[in-house]
Amino acid sequence: MKQYYVYIMTNQSGTLYTGITNDLTRRIYEHKQGQGGQFTSRYRITRLLYLEETRDIHAALAREKQLKGWTRAKKLELIATDNPKWVDLTADWDIS
């Protein structure tokens, strides 16, 4: 059964990006390589801060839409609950 991931990433200056994927490793690799979208390549979005997973594509799409509608402050609160030090959750992944 397929997994879907809703995630929030950032760059050196703290710009936030919310996305969705069914292949997290590939998508993170694309972000880190500056591929996969104008916004993420322009702002060099490379650090994964927050992640949710589900098997329901409709739930994933709804959650992504919900998060994208949130204020920056509300997103920061969400990140702070799981990752208050803004550690890159992919730091120990072998993405090459």
Q: Pick one of 1.10.287.180, 2.60.40.1120, 3.60.15.10, 3.40.1440.10 as the CATH number of 4-82.
A: 3.40.1440.10
pLDDT at 94: 79
Q: Is 11 helix (H, G, I), strand (E, B) or coil?
A: coil
Given the structure tokens 């890159």, which residue do they identify? 88
Task: Give the model's confidence band at 36: pLDDT under 50 very low, under 70 low, under 90 confident, else very high.
Answer: confident
- Condensed to tens digits (0 to 9), the pLDDT of residues 48-70 reads 999 999 999 999 999 999 999 99
Q: What is the model's pTM?
A: 0.93
Identify how many contiguous H helices and E strands the chain contains and give both numbers. 4, 3
Smallest CA-to-CA distance from 20 within 62, 49, 75 is with 62
Give the residue extent of every domain in the chain.
Answer: 4-82
